Structure 1
Amino acid sequence: MQTPSETTDVKLDTLNEPSAHLIEENVALPEDTFRSYWSYLLYEMAHYKPIIFMTLITASLILSIVLFHDIPGILTFSVISLVLSIIILLISIGTFAAGTWDKDSKVKLLLEVIARKPAVEGKEWRIIARNMNQYLFDHGQWFTPYYFLCEHRCHEFFKSLIEQERSNTHTSPPTNGAENTPANKVSNDVEKSYMFSSDPVLEAYFVKAAEIDKEAQFEYWRKQYPELDLP
């Protein structure tokens, strides 16, 4: 049996612990850390190895021009450096535009949406963005823990992922004259059994997450226009 002093100590310890509500309210994202989008972008680029390599090549080129007078050698080095710089720049643009999302990363994002059921303008997207940033960094999918600048970028990425996966999934129509054969009917049913992915795990998570987002958008616009009695 606890003495009164022990009970008081337990209550004080409980009060001193940050509640889950306060933690969720104070989620810090890159937009809260960096002064501007350009400072954020500069930080990301400074930690991207191909860009660091390209910067070193450029610095070496400038140093060779200053210290040496071997014009043919400098020209050769300049051409090689230019070609490498263009290749690295193209790779960098592609990486910054898309990132590297494997199956596990997609599953993680979908499960975050399913678990938290985020509203369109709710704080849940801040938590999802924070969790995804840390996940991508911890699992080597991104080179800093700042993939998503803010919750809006995370939500937009999720919606674009849903649309991209849906558009990449094609179902073949039945061939003329063979619609009623049992074999073709079974084949067509299999082909049309998924909307986002032929992987059954991804398909189930995509369908559930898409439904949650659709309901959230309906609820958002219903609140914006209550006089219209939207469905």
Structure 2
Amino acid sequence: MQTPSENTDVKLDTLDEPSAHLIEENVALPEDTFNSYRSYILNEIARCKPLMIMFLIPVCLVLLITFFHDIKGILVFLVISLILSIIILLIGITAFVSETLNKGSIIKLLVEVITRKPAVGGKEWRIIAYNMNQYLFDHGIWHTPYYFFCEHRCHKFFKSLIKQTRSNAHLSSPTNGAENTQSNTPAKEVSNEMVKPYIFSSDPVLEAYLIKAAEIHKEAEFEYWRKQYPEVDLP
């Protein structure tokens, strides 16, 4: 259950946004700006100062090696430094590519899903991706307003959260541990706690938003496919 302060924060955050039709007219995602995904990645790397410094160090070392290649002692030192700098650069690139969102950003994404109830492949995911890109940039979480390349990657990231939630809920559910004793325990004596799925996060606020967003997403997908195939009479 959300506290009054949390409800206020969500309402204020929603009120600060322009109306939906205005957002739709001005939505521009990286896939619309860049010629390819490769050029997008290169731009993101170029705009990341730590990575650029890591890249410039090996370049400088290569130049120094060309100047001091005839001095054995210095050459050995420079070659070792070059190898280490390349390893550090690769680690930096790996960390850059795999960088994920913090709690506040994840909650922002979940609030967007709860508020907009996006359908499968609907324009709502473009708006959500656009809003998230602006949010991450405005709050200094990401160095460009291009975190999500397209609406599909934003949707995929959200589904990965839900998938991880369901997977961990299944693994950590106390019902798994109670299966062996269930036959000896009357069904009416099994408490609600015994059948409650546990979310991967120990944070109750994040857990509440995850559960709500998962429900909204499931309902939106069900409604979408029901409209796609109305001849199938589903309850």
- What TM-score comes out, normalization by structure 2 length? 0.77
- 1:65 counterpart = 2:65: yes
- 2:229 maps to a residue whose letter is Y
- Residue 226 of structure 1 is matched in structure 2 by 230
| Offset of residue 70 of structure 1 | 2.2
Kept in 2, the 8 Å contact 1:50–1:92? The answer is no
Q: 1:23 to 1:104 in 2, by over 3 A?
A: closer
Tell me how many residue pairs correspond in the alignment.
210
- Residue 152 of structure 1 is matched in structure 2 by 152
- 2:213 maps to a residue whose letter is A
Whole-angstrom CA distance in 1 between matches of 2:23 and 2:110: 22
- Tell me which moved more, 84-93 or 111-120: 84-93
- 1:93 counterpart = 2:94: yes
- In structure 1, stretches of 5+ residues that fail to align are 1-17
- Residue 108 of structure 2 is matched in structure 1 by 108
Kept in 2, the 8 Å contact 1:110–1:205? The answer is yes
Q: 1:137 to 1:229 in 2, by over 3 A?
A: same
- 1:146 maps to a residue whose letter is Y
| Offset of residue 134 of structure 1 | 1.6
**Local SS of the residue matching 2:140:** coil
Whole-angstrom CA distance in 2 between matches of 1:19 and 1:139: 21
- Residue 81 of structure 1 is matched in structure 2 by 82
- Residue 3 of structure 2 is matched in structure 1 by none
- Residue 118 of structure 2 is matched in structure 1 by 118
Greater Rg over alpha carbons, structure = 1
Whole-angstrom CA distance in 2 between matches of 1:131 and 1:160: 19
**Local SS of the residue matching 1:228:** coil
Kept in 1, the 8 Å contact 2:30–2:146? The answer is yes
- What TM-score comes out, normalization by structure 1 length? 0.78
Q: 1:45 to 1:54 in 2, by over 3 A?
A: same
- In structure 2, stretches of 5+ residues that fail to align are 1-17
- Residue 215 of structure 1 is matched in structure 2 by 219
| Offset of residue 142 of structure 1 | 1.9
**Local SS of the residue matching 2:216:** helix
Q: Deviations over 1:38-93 (max 9, x none)?
A: 11011011122342123211211221123233233122222222123213312322
- 1:96 maps to a residue whose letter is V
Q: Tell me the percent identity.
A: 60
Whole-angstrom CA distance in 1 between matches of 2:95 and 2:166: 22
Q: 1:19 to 1:90 in 2, by over 3 A?
A: closer
- Residue 13 of structure 1 is matched in structure 2 by none
| Offset of residue 19 of structure 1 | 7.1
Kept in 1, the 8 Å contact 2:61–2:81? The answer is no
Whole-angstrom CA distance in 2 between matches of 1:72 and 1:230: 77
- Residue 39 of structure 1 is matched in structure 2 by 39
Kept in 2, the 8 Å contact 1:196–1:207? The answer is no
Whole-angstrom CA distance in 1 between matches of 2:54 and 2:72: 22
Whole-angstrom CA distance in 2 between matches of 1:22 and 1:167: 38
